[in-house]
Amino acid sequence: MDLRNIRAITASTLIGGVLLVACSPEHNWREIHPVEAEGLTAWFPCKPDQDERVLSWPGVNQARVRVMSCKAGEAIWSLRYVTVPDAPQVIQTLQWWSRDLQGRAGYTSKTLPALRVLGATQEGQTAWQLDAIEGAGMFQHGQAWHFSHGLTVFQASVWQAKPFQMDSKEDDPVTTFKTGFQFSS
């Protein structure tokens, strides 16, 4: 092989590598079917890691909370959910998770329109935007949506360093994420 061919192959490889990186999507959307989540389908812009934690809150002594989260496009995308033993605990959990967001130190909160998740129970749905108070040492801004199906309560959220802009663009990743939840049954 002569020197010109080696240079051509090297140049092609470098150019191809640069183009591959340049064309990589910031969000790699995928359909997710969380385990034991009442048939929920969700759209995530990245492959979420999964974890479980045992937590308690008023009205619920101990519950196994599942968490799915990933980072894409300078934001953290998350879904946490828990199945509780009875209907009163569903309402208590929805209320507690909402109060927990509203009362976070270092943040101001405002109500957002609740999600219209296909197949979700309409009662108790809430949505919040949290903005870091300047000088409070908080560097994340969040949006979170609470909904339930059967005895399972869900919180979907997005956290990012910059404040949220209320765009109505169809390709807005937050809109894609929050409208990507639905139940099959």
Let me know if residue 58 belongs to a domain: yes
Contact predicate 66/80, CB 8 Å? yes
Average pLDDT over residues 124-147: 86
pLDDT band at 19 (very low <50, low <70, confident <90, very high): very low
Q: Structural domain of residue 63, as residue ranges?
A: 27-183
Please report, for the domain that includes residue 94, its CATH number. 3.40.1000
Let me know if residue 5 belongs to a domain: no
DSSP notation for the chain: --HHHHHHHHHHHHHHHHHHHHHS-S---EEE--TTSTTEEEEESS--EEEEEEEEETTEEEEEEEEEEEEETTEEEEEEEEE-SSHHHHHHHHHHHHHHHHT-TTEEEEE-PPP--BT-EEEEEEEEEEEEPTTTT---EEEEEEEEETTEEEEEEEEESSPPP----TT-HHHHHHT--EE--
For the ranges 27-31, 86-90, 137-141, 151-155, the lowest mean pLDDT is seen at 137-141
Query: Tens digits of per-residue pLDDT, 146-156?
Result: 999 999 999 99
Let me know if residue 21 belongs to a domain: no
The answer, yes or no, to whether residue 22 has pLDDT greater than 50, is no
Let me know if residue 19 belongs to a domain: no
Q: Report the number of distinct structural domains present in the chain.
A: 1
- What's this model's pTM, rounded to 2 decimal places? 0.82
pLDDT at 169: 57
For the ranges 1-15, 55-69, 96-110, 150-164, the lowest mean pLDDT is seen at 1-15
pLDDT at 25: 67
Let me know if residue 18 belongs to a domain: no
Let me know if residue 3 belongs to a domain: no
Let me know if residue 20 belongs to a domain: no
Average pLDDT over residues 98-114: 91
Let me know if residue 118 belongs to a domain: yes
pLDDT band at 122 (very low <50, low <70, confident <90, very high): confident
